[in-house]
Amino acid sequence: MILSIASAAITSAVLSSSSADPIAVATLIKPAIASPELAWAGLILCFPALAAVLCAVCGAMRVKSKLPGMITAIALIAAFVTTLSLYLTCHDGATTTARTIHLFDWITFAWRGESGDWTNFLAPFTLYVDSLTLLWMLFVTGLGSLITIYATEYMEEDQGKGYVRFFGGISVFLFAMGTLVLGGNLLLLYLGWEGVGLASYLLVGYNYDRPSAVAAAKKAFIVNRVGDLGLAFGIFLIWLNYGTIEYDALFQALADTTSSAGTTAANASEWSKAAIPYLLMLGAFGKSAQFPLHVWLPDAMEGPTPVSALIHAATMVTAGVYLIARTYPLFELQPLALPVVACIGCFSALLAASIGMAQYDIKRVMAYSTISQLGYMFLGLGVGSTFGASYHVFTHAFFKALLFLCCGAIMHGMGGQLDLRKLSGLRHVKGFRVTSWTLLIGCICLSGFPFSSGFYSKDTIIGAAFASDDPLFIFLGWVAIVTAGMTAYYAFRVWFRVCCGEVLYEPDLAAHAAPTANDAHGHVAPHDSANSQGGHAAHDFHPHGPRFAINGVLLVIAVGAILAALPSYLAEFAHQQNWIQSMVTDSSAVAGAGSSAHDAHAEHANHALSFTGISDIHTATSVVASAVGILGICIAAFFHLTNRKAADRLRHALLSNALTRWLPLAMENKWYVDEIYHVVLRLPAWAIGHVLHFSDAHVIDGFLVNGTARIPLHVARVFQPLYNGALQGYASTMAGGVALISAWVFWIWLQAG
């Protein structure tokens, strides 16, 4: 039944979207102003690059102090300040005009085409600064600075060992992320895209002694490569169709196409235009860990926690959202593209939330929660609410970074323990108060508790889904509401388990065994720096609470997570325009057809939530979603606060029943997606590789090449007996030869005759 609804919905989505006037898309994007006087904006990229170089120098000089961390922190703060001043410069009054800042030529060349439409390929190192860029850069550099400060303390056990490598990686990451966001064309975005992948590879594999970390790093890079390939092909197609990959020119070309038969290639085929958004989507889903390319993100939790917070929660994984928001006009041109984005986002949200409910490792819960929340963002993009998606990116960056940093603080102080069955009542442990309460703030925001930041951003998305009169979107909206309940459940499951109840903790013994063995080698403890607390046996384990840098950053980000709702407060109570909304609608991410359509429909009374009796669709969504969320919190409270045994009993009951067995197993085993990929993709490739290896050595080289080389030898062997020196042999050979020649002559004679 669900399928039939979905298919009907897709059809209607096609109809409704295609009826929208595409001219509205393009005319809203104003051409950018070339602003060479803003070249100092390049410093945003120069500071992290310089920090990376200095970290390398520190590594070469074998610096053993916190200097690399300090250098990176200062560089990132400088980058943040530069971004802020860029924002203030560009933001003149109410609107922000897009600007392009040409730094230098990168891959640019031209040719003398005979009859071609396009005679050059231009990918200069140009920055494209509009309000969307600024929004992203502000939280990327801001959170980047804060998390770096946190990491200077978190990583302190590794001073002189991996410290330099860690901060070098962070600097490379910030450089790449800055290029991704600021870059003025898609190839520059691609540079940043793979650059952040590299930083992720280096930092996930930070504990290189641990094979699981190495494997996770590799997996992250390779899965992303699949997405990158899609992005690359998308870039090819965009160039083929529009002759440019620079945003500014591209948007103008789009405007021309929609208004008149303008500068697009006359002979580009229809399919090549239609495929663009799907290829870009592939890239976005790879980087943002959406189904079917989501498998790398949970494994990436092998990296140190600040990395998980910065790269795998707050910034890098939102690059996919940025890509789609940036190229939104291209998506709006294809009627099916946005519904597909919405469906995949919604499905990923549901899938990941269901896995997150059953995980015991709190970092993994957070990882699946990230996939799930990213799913919301894609749902937002898909239903035409780029504002909702970007706003959710913004709030999520704060509260998810906060949640990860809290996990890190717990891990740091608790001997690497992350299993929520082995941690309890941390609220009462000395030194963990700040962590517990900031964790609560994070959980409240994540679960979308009324009037928290997550509440506003999530409800913007769900409301946009319901505001459509499209059955598909309304269906997705219901799924999103259910997912919101699941989100609230798993978020508070963590908090109730870890922070409430009786005090109980033990260090991760497995993680402790490793450093003692490694200490003899005098090397870095492999399981985060927390392990260097190693040597504590379980019985005399003393947790140590985080100190100033960690607590300070936790508090700042917690305040940030609360204040992320400020634009909505101001919009709601002071009737100002939502700051984020104006940022998004100023940019290319403005939803032309989509948002105008849903605004029109927002007035309709016959909406899907009419049973609530509230006429305003957004309010109705908020009420329903909050109610479901609070229900989730109540269930979590029942199972994990007041009645913990019940959770185990429920699990056993489900497992013992043959009909329901699959559910907990599938959820705990991530729906076996990894296993399926292993069997369907990896094993065949591995087998083919071995077959080809064999055939290369034995068939092609051994048989064909060497066989050919042996032909002279064998030919010689055939004739060798003839030259044995025996006269009768020569005589018979001669006779045979004469007979052959005679036969040949006779045959020719016959032919001629």
Partner 1 sequence: MLPTLSYLLLLIPMIATVAILCAPSSLAKWIATIGSLATFFVAIGFAWMFPAWTDGTFAPTDATIPLLPSLGISLSFGTDSVGLLLVLMTAFLMPLCMIGSFTAVTERTKEYFAWFMALEAAMLTVFIAKDAIVFYTGYEFTLIPMYFLIAIYGGDNKRVASIKFFLYTFFGSILTLSGVIYIAAQYKIANGMWSFDLSTLTDFCSTKMSAPQQYWVFILLMAGFAVKVASFFPVHTWLPLVHDQAPTAGSVILAASLLKLGSWGVYRIALPAAPIGGVELDQIFAILCIVGILNAALICWVQNDAKKLIAYSSVSHLGFCMLGMFSLNAIGVTGSIMYMINHGLSTGALFLCIGMIYERYHTKDMDQLGGLFRRMPIWSFFMVFFTLASLGLPGLNGFIGEFLCLMGCFTAEPQSVAGYPGVLGPWYAIVAGLGLVLCAMYLLMMLGKLVWGPLREPASAAHHGGDHGHSGANPGATTHSSGGSAAQHASVTESSAQSHSALPADLNAREIGILVPLAVFCLAVGFYPKPMLDVIAPSVERLLAPYPSLVAEYVAKGTLMPRDDDGGGMASITPVQGQSTLHANSEPPLATVTTVRESVGQ
Restricted to residues 648-687, the positions that interact with partner 1 (CB under 8 A) are 685-686
* Distance of closest approach, residue 248 Cβ to partner 1, in angstroms: 20
Q: What is the per-residue binding string for partner 1 in 37-76, x denoting contact by CB under 8 A? A: ----------------------xx----------------
Among residues 274 and 666, whose Cβ is nearest to partner 1?
274
Contact positions with partner 1 (CB under 8 A) in 346-405: none
- Candidate residues 84, 215, 559, 635; the one interacting with partner 1 per rule CB under 8 A: 215
Among residues 85 and 272, whose Cβ is nearest to partner 1?
272
Contact 336, 10 (CB under 8 A): yes
> Cα dist. 423→85, 277, 428, 667, 720 in Å?
44, 45, 12, 22, 86
The position carrying tokens 């993009």 is 381
* Distance of closest approach, residue 95 Cβ to partner 1, in angstroms: 33
Tell me how far apart the alpha carbons of residues 705 and 720 are, in angstroms, rounded to a whole number.
23
Tell me how far apart the alpha carbons of residues 412 and 551 are, in angstroms, rounded to a whole number.
12
* Distance of closest approach, residue 165 Cβ to partner 1, in angstroms: 9
Tell me how far apart the alpha carbons of residues 368 and 359 are, in angstroms, rounded to a whole number.
9
Contact positions with partner 1 (CB under 8 A) in 595-654: none
Query: Does 198 help bind partner 1 (rule: CB under 8 A)?
Result: yes
Of 235-243, 295-303, 491-499, 580-588: span binding partner 1 (CB under 8 A): 235-243
Query: Does 233 help bind partner 1 (rule: CB under 8 A)?
Result: yes
- Candidate residues 93, 522, 725, 753; the one interacting with partner 1 per rule CB under 8 A: 522
Among residues 172 and 389, whose Cβ is nearest to partner 1?
172
Helix (H, G, I), strand (E, B) or coil at 113: coil
Among residues 697 and 740, whose Cβ is nearest to partner 1?
697
* Distance of closest approach, residue 115 Cβ to partner 1, in angstroms: 6
- Candidate residues 28, 50, 84, 214; the one interacting with partner 1 per rule CB under 8 A: 214
* Distance of closest approach, residue 293 Cβ to partner 1, in angstroms: 12
Tokens of 497: 């388990």
Contact 48, 178 (CB under 8 A): yes
Query: Does 704 help bind partner 1 (rule: CB under 8 A)?
Result: yes
Tokens of 326: 């940036």
How would you write 56-95 as a 3-class SS string?
Answer: HHHHHHCCCCCHHHHHHHHHHHHHHHHHHHHHHHHEECCE
Tell me how far apart the alpha carbons of residues 523 and 529 are, in angstroms, rounded to a whole number.
12
Exposure letters 547-578 (e unless 16+ CB within 10 A, then b): eebbbbbbebbbebbbebbebbeebeeeeeeb
Tell me how far apart the alpha carbons of residues 417 and 507 are, in angstroms, rounded to a whole number.
5
* Distance of closest approach, residue 397 Cβ to partner 1, in angstroms: 25
Closest CA relative to residue 68, chosen from 48, 83, 82: 48
* Distance of closest approach, residue 427 Cβ to partner 1, in angstroms: 38
Contact positions with partner 1 (CB under 8 A) in 478-517: 517
Tell me how far apart the alpha carbons of residues 601 and 604 are, in angstroms, rounded to a whole number.
5
DSSP letter assigned to residue 578 = P
Tokens of 257: 């196409």
Among residues 128 and 201, whose Cβ is nearest to partner 1?
201
Among residues 222 and 748, whose Cβ is nearest to partner 1?
222
* Distance of closest approach, residue 371 Cβ to partner 1, in angstroms: 22
Tell me how far apart the alpha carbons of residues 660 and 654 are, in angstroms, rounded to a whole number.
5
Pairing label, strands 99-110, 33-34 = parallel
* Distance of closest approach, residue 514 Cβ to partner 1, in angstroms: 9
Of 77-85, 138-146, 228-236, 534-542: span binding partner 1 (CB under 8 A): 228-236
- Tell me the β-bridge partners of 126: 102
Tokens of 108: 């640019």
- Candidate residues 159, 318, 518, 626; the one interacting with partner 1 per rule CB under 8 A: 518
Q: What DSSP line would sit under 510-552, residue for residue?
A: HHHHHHHHHHTTT---SSTGGGGGTT--STT-------HHHHH
Closest CA relative to residue 342, chosen from 491, 490, 478, 186: 478
Query: Does 208 help bind partner 1 (rule: CB under 8 A)?
Result: yes
User: HSE on the CB side for 646, CA within 13 Å?
Assistant: 9
Of 260-268, 308-316, 427-435, 722-730: span binding partner 1 (CB under 8 A): 260-268
- Candidate residues 64, 421, 523, 710; the one interacting with partner 1 per rule CB under 8 A: 523
* Distance of closest approach, residue 585 Cβ to partner 1, in angstroms: 31
Contact positions with partner 1 (CB under 8 A) in 267-326: 267-269, 272
* Distance of closest approach, residue 107 Cβ to partner 1, in angstroms: 6
- Candidate residues 572, 648, 675, 696; the one interacting with partner 1 per rule CB under 8 A: 696
Contact positions with partner 1 (CB under 8 A) in 80-119: 104-119
Of 133-141, 229-237, 561-569, 641-649: span binding partner 1 (CB under 8 A): 229-237
Pairing label, strands 99-110, 120-129 = antiparallel
Q: How many residues bind partner 1 (CB under 8 A)?
A: 75
* Distance of closest approach, residue 512 Cβ to partner 1, in angstroms: 14
